[in-house]
Amino acid sequence: MRVIKASEFKAKCLKIMDEVAATGKTVVITKTGIPITELVPAKRRPESLFGAMKGSVTYMGDVISSIDEEWEAERE
């Protein structure tokens, strides 16, 4: 994480914004040595919701077959 003074940020604002967008790394902006704010890359939304969750689910085995265990509701 990069830390810069507010005066340096003011002088190089557009360049620093481009760097954050390109690298994805956060920049902390300080004033008199105290962290004031963070410049973080924006989260981009997918153009379409179709396929937006692709790769977010992990298949761990057979979820359809019976587990050969009697349910409490079936005992009565």
Give pLDDT tens digits for 8-32: 999 999 999 999 999 999 999 999 9
**Residue 75, C-beta contacts closer than 8 angstroms, at least 6 positions apart:** none
Give the pLDDT of residue 76: 64
* Parent domain of 38: 1-42
For the whole prediction, is pTM greater than 0.85? Answer: no
- What is the Cα–Cα distance from 3 to 9, expressed in whole angstroms? 10
Domain count, the chain: 1
pLDDT band at 6 (very low <50, low <70, confident <90, very high): very high
In a domain, 72, yes or no: no
Question: pLDDT by residue (tens digit) across 42-67?
Answer: 987 777 888 878 888 888 777 777 77
- 34 belongs to a structural domain: yes
Q: Is the pLDDT of residue 1 over 70?
A: yes
CATH number of the domain enclosing 14: 3.40.1620.10
